[in-house]
Every structure is written in structure tokens, then in C-alpha cells.
Structure 1
């Protein structure tokens, strides 16, 4: 599999990330989280100004994009890991309110959304959020608490040890590698079954008590493409018709018409042909001379065709 080195390298990345982690990484993550929250209040303030003045309608779309890019669950986890869970209720309240205002805005228009913002006290809530989040230093360190529970009731998320992270990443790497190997083997086997081979042999398709003269065009272990000569008084084959295919040198094979058009009929075998049976037909095709179309008894009839 050509892309295995890249895939395995991507799977191994978490190991490298955890083994190279330093305390400074936690501070950097806190800074990024604070930057995201400051950007959120900026977008929310711009949206509120749009509701109040009607200017800059793009602000609604910008706020929507921020909310889509920052799922609530992810923000909760980031705030708890960085020790900012004390600000979580306020942040979640403001985010929920902004989502509701965007829904009102999209469904009922700017006037209705503006009225809702005034009724909910969005401006006051936004000022409180800004006053508490923006002044925080980038190296913010939470005060130690005796109680373990957060206001949300599920507690602060504890970090996992470096050894646990390495072991987990290696397990995922091994499982993923094994899964990729098996998937490639299965896909390769499936491709071999479906591979089509040119084959020019006379054959018959039997439907009920009717026999249709035909000629193979190409074949795979799963099905075949066949040219059928339509004889007067015999209805044409149609998709889902059950037929019995008679190929030279083989036992009859049950098949189903998958589709047909003006030139070809495609059939799918009820069970895959063995590799040995396929090789028999290919060998006969090489040895047998292809008869001219005008020499065939049904050559003056209308050919019908399709591919499985």
C-alpha cells in the first residue's frame, strides 16, 4: 500500500507530541483558549451592533462561523483543563444566547432578533463577559480549590500521564496498522474478482424455455458483458430477468440481467466464478476463431446489450 508510511506517521504523531510535551505547552494552550474567547466576544459584539444599527450584515455570518468552528463540548474541556472552569457558566450562557439570537435572526429577521437581544439583556451579559475574560493574563494560573466539583457538576478533567498517553497511542497505532493491512487484502481480492477480461466466445442465454444466441464480449468472475441476437417472436431481455448462461467447457451458470441497452446485455452471476473456470474461458477465447457477424445465424437480427 503506497500511502502506508504517511498514514503510520500520522498515527504516530500523538506519541511524539506527548513525549515532547513541556509545562510551557499548557501555558500556550491557555493563551490560545483566551484568544478564542476574546475573538468570540468581538464577534458577538459586532453581531449585537448589527442588530442595533442594521449595518455590517456580514457580522452575523462571522459569528455563525466562529460558533461552528468551536463546538461547546470542546470549549468546556479546554476551559477545565486550563483551570478556567470558573468562567465556564458565563461563557456557556453567552454562547447559548448567541445561538438563539442567530436562529431568530435567520428565521424572523433583524427586527425580531434585536427585540430578543434587548429582552435577554445581551449587552449587559456581553459586558460582564468582556470584563472578566479580556483582562486575564496569558499565563493565567487558577487558584487552588479544595472542592473537586465544578458548577457543571462533573468536575475538572484530570490530565493523563505521559506513560498512559504513549501506551494508548501505540495501541491505536498497532490496531490501525492491522486494520489497514486487512482492508488492503480484502480490497485487493475484490478487485481481482471484478477485473474484466476481453473474451470472444459464442454462448447461449436461457430464459424459461427460450434460448437466445449470444457472444461474450468481456468477462470477470462476478459477471459478463454479452451481445445477444434478438430473434423474431422472442421478447428482449430486461433488467432483473433470471437467465441460465451456457458457456463452452463449463457447467451452466445461473445469472441475472443487471441492465440492457440497444447493444449489450450485462449479467451478474449468482455466485462468483472460480479462477480456474475463468481461465478455461480465456484459453478457449484465444484458441477459437471469432466468426464474422454475417456468418452468424442471428447476424441479421437486432443485437441487444448491457454490462453487469
Structure 2
């Protein structure tokens, strides 16, 4: 397990996953952790702490897993060519390649992600897609695996990916014990959204619209028809519809449905039954929820629940509903 680091590397992108693997070692795993830079010299981390390395990337003889950490500089300036060449020189040797956060830009520059699915921090997903149109970027996934190449979203998602790798290597029981020892959530599957719908949407500026959105988010199961919402916030239904269109570019009904669907995802992630989820999320029946779920996510609630029942990342062969 080799971490490839560089000047400006985000410390948590290295320390977070490394701590997961080290904790796993204490429970019976056998990860040999090492650190390398392109030059073989120590690097300065994002917090200013020097990070020593064991060797230059070119000196590595046996690499099972190569982890390319991220850093803000990878998207603010050209990626150092020696870093790209280091990955190119190693790409065919490890059993698996891993990037944390913006480390995906290094893999992309080295040609590793060409023709593959990948993710990165949601702030930089559009940039990755524009710069590398040959990559299928999934901006809303915590982590993705495609033919032995693993990419993760920002910072803490690298810890989720590390836990998933431990589960893949040593089984769910050991991974669960690691999660418990580190006070982590075990159930953050790769396909889970990087952020919830309320975080994704900018807060409405208009008080009446903000109140309506808060009502829906607080209890999706209530009657949130346009007339009922308008009455609750003290405006006419027509005015409320105009507010939703102007600020959120969505109708009140569509906003309610999206909020209910995201609530349903959270309930399914937590292990609730499909019937209980449909009732708690405000759908009239399981069939109504199923139709809405398929229309938005491309798979049925039962398939979503089965697919994301563990930490295992989504794969390139696991996309059909």
C-alpha cells in the first residue's frame, strides 16, 4: 500500500485512509504502508507539516495498491509533470489504483481514467469532465470502481473508500470493527450522494419560499400540495409557483417529489423496508414510489437497497436497473 504524495498534498487525504488501514492491521490485516514522492524527497503537506517519504516512485519494486492523494493545487495550477510521469511509470504494476479527492486529476492526466467511470470532489467534477471528455464523471458518488481503478470524492470520502477496500480484502466483520473503533459510519456506500438535497440546493432568498422548502424537508410525509403549502406560508398558490420557478427552477410538485425521493434514499440506506419507506417519505403507495424512483435514479427501490447494502463501491458492470 503506497501513498504517492507531493508538495501541497492534503494531509487528511493521506492520514485518513492510512489510519483506516493501520487500524485494520491491529485487528489482523497485513497492510504494509509506505509513502513515496516523485523525487524521493520529503514534501510539505497542506497544513505545513513536513511529510517524510520512504522512496522515490521510480524506486518502488513491489506495489499492490497505489494511492494518489489529492490537493488544492492540482486544480489551481498545472499538475507537476514528474507526478504524472510517476503514475505512468507505475500504472501497470499495482493490483489496483486509487485516488483520493483531486488525485483523480493526476490519474486522468496520466491516461489511467480514459474510457472509465470516475468521481472527484463535487466542486471540481465539472472541470474534470470538461478537461477529460473521455472520462465518464459521476459527480454525485462518494466513490467509484471501474476495472481495478478506484476514485473517491472529497476528503472524508477517501476514508469511506479505504473502509470499503478493507471490507473487500478482509470481509465485512473486520471492516465493521474498524469502523466502530474509529467511530465511523459503516453504511456509506459508494453510490450514496456526496451531499443531501437540502445541501445541494441553495437556500431560497424569499422568506415565503424558504419557509415552504423547510416545511417539506422537515416532514416530507405531510400534504404538500401547492394549495396546502401556499396556505401554510401565507401566499397564493400562483405566487408560490412563481417563487419556486424563479429561484429554484422547479415546480412546487417537483420539489416535493425530489425531497421525498432523497428522504426515501436515506431511509433505504438505513435499512428500512420499502413499505415503511414509502409511507414515511410521503408516497401514497410503494408503486408510486417505485415509478418516481425509477424515473429519477434509473433503478427500483428494491434494486437500490440491494446494491447499496454494504460499503462496496459501484462497479462498471453494475449499472443496469
TM over 0.5: no
Greater fraction of residues in strand: 1
Normalized per residue, which structure has more helix?
Answer: 1
TM-score (structure 1 length as normaliser): 0.20
State the structure with more CA Rg: 1
Query: TM-score, normalized by length of structure 2?
Result: 0.19
